[in-house]
Amino acid sequence: MSADLDLKEVTQRVAVLMTEATGADVCFVHVVDEDGKRITLVGATPPFGEVVGQVELLVGEGVAGWVAQHAEPAVVPNKWDDPRYKYIPALRGEDYTSMMSVPMLVRGSVVGVLNVHSKETRIWDESDVALLSDVANLMGRAVENARLYARLAEREEVLETFAARTVEAQELERRRLAGEIHDGISQRLISLWYHLLAAEDAIGDGPATDAARLASELASAKDLATGALGEARTAITGLRPAVLDDLGLGPGLESLARSLEGLAVEVAVTAVDLPPHVEMAVYRIAQEALHNVAKHAQASRVVMEFGPTEEGATLVVADDGSGLPDEWMAVAEDRGAYGMVGMQERAELIGARLTVASRPGRGTTITVVIPTGALR
């Protein structure tokens, strides 16, 4: 039971075990809520499985609530004579006469309560209470582990959602800025360039000296405008690659690979339907990987593959270059080489796994596995 991290499954097994261990007719497992003010029925033997999750008691209410409040067992030969007993129609209390209730303790705190009920009048002795209490404490750890696991899973889900929204918000902002640069700065620079070109064509009618000076100034201005226009286009591409919006991730990756100069490139891309923020992360990782190949690897050949796999989807970028030292991550951080570190961080943000296989003189292979959960 301790190996199972599903709270419902654990408590159902606990309930069955308790009826067998004590010879009781039915068992109810209550767990103390996060706020410590209520206990909730989370496990029960048949035929009460359908009311699991629907029965709640305040701590201090009923026999189970009293046990949760005082952290002490309670043996009740006839519950109708006990003022602590609270009748709950859904649990058909009229069918059972005697009950025993013990706390599930973990490090001195009550995490739950076990109730066993008997149809016939029964007086459980100290050995019965000791047995049930010992097993209850063991099961308390299993219940606590399951609850902690459920809480961790919820937090991880929230973190993944937050990361996805953060990346998506970043890309939306990039797209907005790219649009503003394209519609504003770029258009003005293009207009300026044409005005300068027209002025250059019109200077032939003036004095030769003035014409030469004007031509020189206009040529310089035109060069500046051309350079600024190129920088604006580069900034637009850096903020949001137009190929992703126009053609999608597959053609975008192919375009990246084909842009490498002086390298033999092999590309094998199969379309995979990914959310926009995941597409962007994969594109940026591939972009950085290819940039590293071109700038540092001293390679003659690079292979890039992307497509669906059993695990979800996989990106592979492999080169035949000089390779990396065994302690490549430490060296990268030491030298401020944030490209490799950035790829790791991008992969983590989308829940992907990035691995680097490299040996000096034998090239480098970067593999990114995007899990099924990140796909559409």
pLDDT tens sequence across 109-134:
898 899 999 999 988 888 888 988 88
Residues 188, 250, single domain; the answer is no
pLDDT tens sequence across 217-276:
777 777 777 777 777 766 666 666 767 777 788 888 888 888 888 888 899 999 888 888
- Percent pLDDT > 70 in the chain is 83
Residues 119, 185, single domain; the answer is no
CATH number of 100's domain: 3.30.450.40
Give the N- to C-terminal CA distance of the chain in Å, as an integer: 35
| For residue 52, pLDDT beyond 70 | yes
Binned at pLDDT 50, 70 and 90, residue 146 comes out as: confident
Residues 29, 55, single domain; the answer is yes
Flag whether 286 is in a domain. Answer: yes
Q: Is 85 left (phi over 0), alpha (psi -120 to 50) or beta?
A: beta
Query: Among the three residues 239, 273, 294, which one is the final residue of a domain in this structure?
Result: 239
Rounded Cα gap, residues 264 and 260, in angstroms: 9
Rounded Cα gap, residues 200 and 216, in angstroms: 9
Predicted TM-score (pTM) of the model is 0.45
Closest Cα partner for 30 from 107, 117, 102, 122?
A: 102
Rounded Cα gap, residues 283 and 305, in angstroms: 12
- Could you give the 3-state DSSP secondary structure of residue 102? strand
Which has more pLDDT, 340 or 272? 272
Q: Please name the residues in contact with 346: beta carbons below 8 A apart, sequence gap of 6 or more.
A: 281, 284, 285
Query: Among the three residues 116, 138, 153, which one is the final residue of a domain in this structure?
Result: 153
Residue span of the structural domain in which 43 resides: 7-153
Flag whether 258 is in a domain. Answer: yes
pLDDT at 204: 59
Residues 255, 357, single domain; the answer is yes
Report the chain's mean pLDDT, rounded to a whole number: 81
Residues 98, 175, single domain; the answer is no
Q: Please name the residues in contact with 364: beta carbons below 8 A apart, sequence gap of 6 or more.
A: 293, 297, 318, 319, 321, 323, 324, 356, 357, 358
Residues 276, 217, single domain; the answer is no
Residues 171, 296, single domain; the answer is no
pLDDT at 221: 75
Query: Among the three residues 239, 269, 284, which one is the final residue of a domain in this structure?
Result: 239
Number of domains in the chain: 3
Residues 205, 266, single domain; the answer is no
